[in-house]
Structure 1
Amino acid sequence: MMGPHTPSLENDYKICESIIKEHSKSFYYAFSSLPELDAKAVYAIYAFCRMADDAIDHASDKAHRLENLDKLKSELNAFLAGNRPDTPMWRALEDTCDRYDIDESMLYAQIRGQEMDVSFEQPENLEALIHYSNHVAGSVGRLLLPILCNDPSAERKVNAEKLGVAMQLTNILRDVGEDFRQHGRVYIPTTTLKRHGCSMNQIEQGRADQAFVDVWEDLAAEAEALYDSFRDEISHYKKEAQLPLLMSLSVYREILNEVRKNRYDCFTKRNVVSMTRKMKIRNEEMRFLKKIKNV
């Protein structure tokens, strides 16, 4: 068994915790209730993924974005070769990788997903969108799996990826306007737009008419089906992780309902789940877990 964390390592994890607390209040609300070591491991994984995301979001042009990603990839190469960069995130991630069987290939998949954003092409169909989503979000599900589950079988890995894809689809449906205005990206597949008679001009103008609503609900149905199918997985996870994971799933799913409540305005509004609703979701999931335990 590994020894306790040193004061320096404790501070490294606190820095990782501050990152998830700032950038993803929903994830933090869910996973901060995990046992201490598991929660810290989640924070370290999140901090790495945030660094990959920031590598392109905080860069001014394509060349700078690729340079940042190349630097991160070089640091990852060194890290996995035993030459860990001496920064809080890498120190915390090293401790996490020592404690859990983290799939290192998923760290590279995360970077590859960011590279796909740098050289962005609007997905032609749902399959292309899911391929992208597997890199940027399915990889996160795979990275968290050994922390939250004692049975990282092939089936568990596939379903963890699917949950990540559901959350990425939710991000896309929440951020249609922001993605277009700030990054010039439209993640909605061209075939989905054509099928419902929704033009790119409608996206550019931020018109939530019936054609757009039909497009939006088409992708929302894909996400909700993935959320629903994952609920059958929960019994395979650590007892202490079941409630945090269901809370994360359901709070994210609730974002879709927030967009609906706001008449599908994902162009000008930042649709978020209130703390009151998060607390209600927590109680609902506690009742669900109690029910399946007694079945």
Structure 2
Amino acid sequence: MNKAEKIYRYTDGMEESKQVVKANSTTFYYAFSKLPDYRANSIFVLYHFLRQLDDFADHHKAAKFNAMVDVWYSIKANSPETQLGRNLWNVFDVFNLPFYDMNQMIAGQKADLYGAKIQDINDLNRYCYQVAGTVGQLIMPILTDYDVSKIYENINHIGIAMQITNIIRDVKEDALSGRVYLPTKLMEVFHVKKEDLLKEHTDKNLKALLKYLADYANDLYKDKKVVLNFIDNRNAKVSISLAIDGYHKILTNIEKRDYDVLDSRVYVNKASKLMLYLKNSIFQ
């Protein structure tokens, strides 16, 4: 029995995960919905589980978060009791995904739940790896039959870049929730205070700090080509390229607005998403 046949045994039970992705992340759904069903459904199940972890951590729902962690423990013990747990167990089993990356993801979400302390760029890298780099390292074995362990660092760089993009875009939204992901030492260097994150408009000091992080992220996005070269399926290559470009486009739009992110949320509109899809479909 091949990978597709093993996953197809649970296709019906995976429909809920597909709908969760479609409702909560159009960029993510748009990128991966074109894959063969067994790959797409596996990624949607993974996203569904990670989304719940993230939501419960973001909204300080410790009991529900810990319940999801218990589901993960049951998966590691080969005894999942929920439908989502059984689906995720199947995905980890079929694609031989490493438990380590999910353990690190959970550690990053716990930092969110109990208050992430990011002092410097090293702390930022570690946090971004835990909540985003791990996602790439879990998704890549689903997308390709190649051994991706050789490019874990490159995959991690892309994840860090995407998470930094989120941090820049959501700096005010996070501050309103009592969270600051900008490294404390960088805030000191650029003379940025917490109250500056809640203003109506972005002042020049905060813009300078955000530009510094954007330049750092742009450099990491360059690893995209290395990652794409390890994907053997063209549709999968288009999907991951579209996902990366969707986030990179958000950062580009922020740069075009001169880093004024406090007055409104920056996003990628449907026309831009279509252009990204056409570009990737033609040139990959």
TM-score scaled by length of structure 2: 0.91
Asked if the contact 1:52/1:110 (under 8 Å) is kept, the reply is: no
Residue equivalent to 1:90: 85
Asked if the contact 2:78/2:89 (under 8 Å) is kept, the reply is: no
Residue equivalent to 1:20: 21
Identity within the alignment, % = 26
Residue 242 of structure 1, CA deviation: 0.9
2: distance between equivalents of 1:206 and 1:180? 13
2: distance between equivalents of 1:154 and 1:86? 30
- Pick one of 130, 133, 139 that aligns with 1:138: 133
Asked if the contact 1:12/1:91 (under 8 Å) is kept, the reply is: no
Residue equivalent to 2:44: 43
Trace 1:41-120 onto structure 2 (pairs within 5 A): 41-59=42-60, 64-65=61-62, 67-87=63-83, 89-120=84-115
Residue 230 of structure 1, CA deviation: 2.3
- Structure 2, unpaired ranges of 5+: none
Give the residue type in structure 1 aligned to 2:18.
E
Asked if the contact 1:170/1:256 (under 8 Å) is kept, the reply is: yes
2: distance between equivalents of 1:24 and 1:173? 18
Task: Verify: 1:186 aligned to 2:180, yes or no.
Answer: yes
Farther off after superposition, 209-218 or 254-263: 254-263
- TM superposition outliers: structure 1 runs of 4+ over 4 Å: none
Residue 206 of structure 1, CA deviation: 4.4
Task: Verify: 1:272 aligned to 2:256, yes or no.
Answer: no
Residue 122 of structure 1, CA deviation: 4.0
Residue 86 of structure 1, CA deviation: 2.2
Provide the aligned C-alpha RMSD in A.
1.8
Farther off after superposition, 196-205 or 104-113: 196-205
Asked if the contact 2:140/2:148 (under 8 Å) is kept, the reply is: no
Residue 190 of structure 1, CA deviation: 1.7
Farther off after superposition, 121-130 or 200-209: 200-209
Residue equivalent to 2:12: 11
Residue 145 of structure 1, CA deviation: 1.6
Post-superposition CA distance 1:203-251 (Å, at most 9, x none): 1324412211111111111111111122233111122311111111111
SS in 1 for 2:11: helix
2: distance between equivalents of 1:153 and 1:96? 17
Asked if the contact 1:196/1:215 (under 8 Å) is kept, the reply is: yes
Asked if the contact 1:69/1:111 (under 8 Å) is kept, the reply is: no
Residue equivalent to 2:206: 212
Q: 1:121 to 1:52 in 2, by over 3 A?
A: closer
Post-superposition CA distance 1:117-171 (Å, at most 9, x none): 1222441111101111111111101111211122234332222122111111111
Count of equivalent residues: 280
TM-score scaled by length of structure 1: 0.88
